[in-house]
Structure 1
Amino acid sequence: MSFDPQTLQDIIACPKTKAKLVCEGDFLVSVDPDTRLKYPIKDGIPVMLVDEATEVPLDEWADIMKRHDRNPETGELVS
């Protein structure tokens, strides 16, 4: 059974900060603007290990947040 990011998006969180995650291609990206961590999805399974995460550059993170209807400065949902 593979990972469905839309189904689990509301129940999984960044293991480091407990922030929500958004699915961006083959990664889950934390909405926390301070850490901006992204976790790989390998063979359909998210690798939720902090040691496997990489930091997204601020400008790239802001673009990802915009694509997911989030504030590009705070990561909060835009209503």
Structure 2
Amino acid sequence: MADGRDGKKTNVDPKLLELLACPLTKGPLAWDPERGELVSRVAKLAYPVRDGIPIMLPSEARTISAEDVLSPPKLGGPGSSAS
């Protein structure tokens, strides 16, 4: 479970997720509710979401491993029931 700075579970509005794209690749992002991150599999980066606000700066993103990129999608996307 991902927590914001206030200790509450962080969530991303599915409509917002449809509008967001990776700033480097312009490709789609997937929501990882366990870590509270928006993941760009192409760029191998995970952008944090703090207090419900996506931080879309490559300098703030975490590099994800090849194993994370190749693992079966457990990530929520638009229309998923991940809450």
Both proteins in one fold, TM over 0.5: yes
1:68 Cα deviation after fit: 4.3
Q: Distance in 2 between matches of 1:11 and 1:42?
A: 18
Structure 2: segments with no counterpart, 5+ residues: 1-9, 77-83
Equivalent residue, structure 2, for 1:31: 41
Matched residue SS, 1:41: strand
Q: Give the aligned length.
A: 65
1:53 Cα deviation after fit: 0.8
Q: Distance in 2 between matches of 1:45 and 1:24?
A: 14
1:67 lines up with 2:74 in the alignment: yes
Contact 2:37 / 2:49 at 8 angstroms: preserved in 1?
yes
Contact 2:45 / 2:64 at 8 angstroms: preserved in 1?
yes
Q: Distance in 2 between matches of 1:38 and 1:17?
A: 13
Matched residue SS, 2:14: helix
1:48 Cα deviation after fit: 0.5
- Report the TM-score, using the length of structure 2 for normalisation: 0.66
Structure 1: segments with no counterpart, 5+ residues: 70-79
Higher helix residue share: 1
- Report the TM-score, using the length of structure 1 for normalisation: 0.69
Q: 1:55 to 1:5 in 2, by over 3 A?
A: farther
CA RMSD of aligned residues (A): 2.2
Contact 2:11 / 2:52 at 8 angstroms: preserved in 1?
yes
Q: Which has the higher contact order (CA 8 A, sep 6+)?
A: 2
